[in-house]
C-alpha cells in the first residue's frame, strides 16, 4: 500500500481474517460446544 508516496508493507493473512477487528473465522466445531456450556437450561 502506498500513502502520500510512502510505501507501507503489511503481512499476509489467511482466509476469513477480519481487518477491522483482527479476529479470524471461528471454528464452529470448537466454538459451539464451548457456548453450549454457558446456556441456561
pLDDT recorded at residue 18: 75
- The pLDDT, as a whole number, for residue 41 is 66
Query: What is the reported pLDDT for 6?
Result: 79
pLDDT digits (tens, 9 = 90+) for 6-40: 787 766 767 777 777 778 777 888 888 888 888 86
**Residue 35 and residue 38: Cα distance in Å, rounded?**
6
What is the pLDDT at residue 11? Answer: 67
Residue with grid cell 479476529, as numbered in its chain: 23
User: What pLDDT does 37 receive?
Assistant: 85
pTM assigned to the model: 0.39
Q: Which pLDDT does position 22 carry in this prediction?
A: 72
Q: Compute the distance between CA of residue 41 and CA of residue 35 in angstroms, rounded to an integer.
A: 13
Q: Please calculate the CA angle 6-7-11 and round it to the nearest 5 degrees.
A: 145
Amino acid at each position: 500500500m502506498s500513502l502520500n508516496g510512502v510505501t507501507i508493507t503489511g503481512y499476509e493473512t489467511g482466509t476469513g481474517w477480519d481487518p477491522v477487528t483482527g479476529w479470524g473465522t471461528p471454528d464452529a466445531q470448537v466454538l459451539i460446544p464451548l457456548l453450549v456450556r454457558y446456556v441456561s437450561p
